[in-house]
Amino acid sequence: MAPPPILSLTLPSETGRVLSIQSHTVQGYVGNKSAVFPLQLLGYDVDPINSVQFSNHTGYPTFKGQVLNGQQLWDLIEGLEANDLLYYTHLLTGYIGSVSFLNKILEVVDKLRSVNANLTYVCDPVMGDEGKLYVPEDLVSVYREKVVPVASMLTPNQFEAELLTKLRIVSETDGREACNILHAAGPSKVVITGIDIGGNLLLIGSHQKDKEHSPEQFKIVIPRIPAYFTGTGDLMTALLLGNIPTTLTRQQSLQYQVCRHFCGGR
């Protein structure tokens, strides 16, 4: 693995550097507006790329804004690479609205792992909720067949986990089995962020350290609050990423200290 270039550590963090590709809204908190600041509070350097920039989230009667396409995403990646700024410890992805953009994300994963083979890819496969898709149906097979196998951690909700596993989740046992199916497909860490069972909300987490051993699993009972929230899943995924241990090598730590010295402690 190549060490991170000095320029990429001008504003260094011993915790890690995150490239976060998610949505952005001018008003309200979803996507990068929910994820970036909490990760910074946890000590991460975070570089956001906004997959969309909307006036407000799409739950309102109307919204306006811009959608980044795959080539525009790749232009940004090439700009970072040209300046030796493409060293990341983590990649975080959230809402993606087209198959072409999602396929370009796969190229970004390959590119980042060519620079840092130990890159942790945390994927929130945002596709829908409560039985309703709010992305094109074509994205489901791309997530299932291409994205899940390269992800390090997956954070679907109940509906998304059902789409990815083709398993109907109606019990805690089903939720745990869905995690097992996803482990077999790729990611070592899976968190199903909300399962509605008889009016009760459960979170189920699962970690399989290696394929020879059964995963360690847990559940959290979530109190139901009679209110409507947005961006909570984006925040949850960011906090989960923020608690994945990241260990920089001795050489990387030395570069960090050198940068701190020559940048006047910034």
> Per residue in 79-102, pLDDT tens?
999 999 999 999 999 999 899 999
The pLDDT, as a whole number, for residue 252 is: 44
Residue of higher predicted confidence among 9 and 34: 34
Task: Please give the average per-residue pLDDT across 117-133, as a whole number.
Answer: 93
Alpha-carbon 47 to chain mean position: 13
pLDDT at 221: 92
Report the share of the chain in percent with pLDDT over 90: 69
Say what the pLDDT of residue 251 is. 45
**Does 102 reside within a domain?**
yes
Residue 77 lies in a domain: yes
Note whether residue 232 is domain-resident.
yes
Query: Is pLDDT larger for residue 227 or for residue 236?
Result: 236
DSSP 91-146: EEE-----HHHHHHHHHHHHHHHHH-TT-EEEE----EETTEE-S-THHHHHIIII
Whether residue 263 is predicted with pLDDT greater than 70 in this model: the reply is no
Handedness of CA 254, 259, 264, 266 (dihedral sign): negative
**Within a domain: residue 6?**
no
For residue 148, what is the DSSP state?
G
Q: Is the pLDDT of residue 137 over 70?
A: yes
CA distance 219 to 187: 18
Catalytic residue among 45, 124, 174, 234: 234
Task: Tell me the residue range of the domain where 163 lies.
Answer: 17-263
Q: Could you give the CA distance from residue 194 to residue 217 in angstroms, rounded to a whole number?
A: 15
How confident is the model at residue 57, as a pLDDT? 85
What is the model's pLDDT at position 233?
Answer: 86
Is the pLDDT at 265 greater than 50, yes or no? Answer: no
**Is 12 a member of any domain?**
no
Q: Is residue 5 part of a domain?
A: no
234 is catalytic: yes
Q: Is residue 2 part of a domain?
A: no
Number of domains, the chain: 1
The CATH number assigned to the domain holding 183 equals: 3.40.1190.20
How many angstroms separate the CA atoms of 230 and 251, rounded?
A: 41
- Tell me whether residue 9 is in a domain: no
Question: Is 28:229 a contact under the CB 8 Å cutoff?
Answer: no
Is it the case that residue 11 has pLDDT exceeding 50?
no
